[in-house]
Structure 1
Amino acid sequence: MDSIDSSIMDALKENSRMTASEISKRVNLSIPAVTERIRKLEEANIIETYTIKINREKMGCKLLSFIFVNIDQSTHIEDFRQAVVACKPVLECHHVAGQYDYLLKVLVADTQELEHFISHTLKNMIGVQSSNTIISLSSLKENINL
């Protein structure tokens, strides 16, 4: 991977629908060369997927929270992982070092929906021993890529 590949990826991170023609003008490369480089980045799994960023507030999801979770026994880890991956409100799940076992990024409409998620979904997952919830007041920076 070289600086041209990095420039191509920067353009696609800015707008994943950007055409090869538009990218070629930015990086001073022919359209076929840009297309070939993108294909190689995809084949190498450097580019894993193309996606969109949705305005959460306009979709009715206004409450972003981070939930630390502790699992009671290592035998329950796989059950927890399967359950949390299947949960729609969970945007991200990270296995972390430190006081807690997992960190969840959860998006819901409001505090009532968050309470329901914690009380009826999270606390009912096999192995969940305890949790600690932090509510985000605002997001200053949030990127999905490097």
Structure 2
Amino acid sequence: MSLKLDALDIRILDALQDDVTTPIAEIAERVASSKTVVWRRVQRLTERGAIRARVALLDHREVGLGIMVFASVKMGRHGVDVLPQFIDAVRACPQVIECHTLMGPVDFLLKILVADINEYENFVWQKLSRIDGVQEVHSSISMSQPVYTTRLAPRPTNSDDTPGGD
């Protein structure tokens, strides 16, 4: 069940998405609320999972990871242990920054960052293709990333716009 969000929650989340290092007092002023209320709301949003982490977003190219690859992985079998074992295996690979379970002709879509094509080739041959159950891997290399954002546009979930709790 999703967390009930009101207009104040949305304004607080919007401010945090601009810069998570913004002091609570500044956010409170920006959203026209008190520091105590904003602090409590941030704590509740964090405890309930709406705020998953407070991180720095890095530019992958600037930190030496110049190649972004989307790998579609088809599994040869779908036993009760095969899919969870695959997920555990790719979690252990620092090159894999996202893993999506899909419906359709492939089972997983991986977003992978590597320094160069040689590193990706080695990753496929030495790690990905050796995971139990992997039948096919189809790779697409990203040439550019004209749209990139981590910003979400949450919607209020309270029909009467009452506070989500202080």
- TM-score, normalization by structure 1: 0.94
Distance in 1 between the 2:89 and 2:122 partners?
Answer: 16
Aligned to 2:109: 103
> What is the number of residues matched between the two proteins?
146
Which runs of at least 4 in structure 1 moved beyond 6 Å after TM superposition?
A: none
Q: CA RMSD in A?
A: 1.2
Match of 1:11 among 6, 15, 29: 15
Structure number with higher relative contact order (C-alpha < 8 Å, ≥ 6 residues apart): 2
Q: Are 2:91 and 1:85 aligned?
A: yes
Distance in 1 between the 2:18 and 2:45 partners?
Answer: 17
Q: Are 2:143 and 1:142 aligned?
A: no
Asked if structure 2 preserves the Cα contact closer than 8 Å seen for 1:79 and 1:127, the reply is: no
- Point out the structure with the larger helix share: 1
Amino acid across the alignment from 1:47: I
Q: Return the offset for 1:93.
A: 0.4
- TM-score, normalization by structure 2: 0.84
Name structure 2 gaps, 5 residues minimum: 153-166
Distance in 2 between the 1:55 and 1:142 partners?
Answer: 11
Larger deviation, residues 30-39 vs 90-99: 30-39
Query: What is the aligned-residue identity percentage?
Result: 33
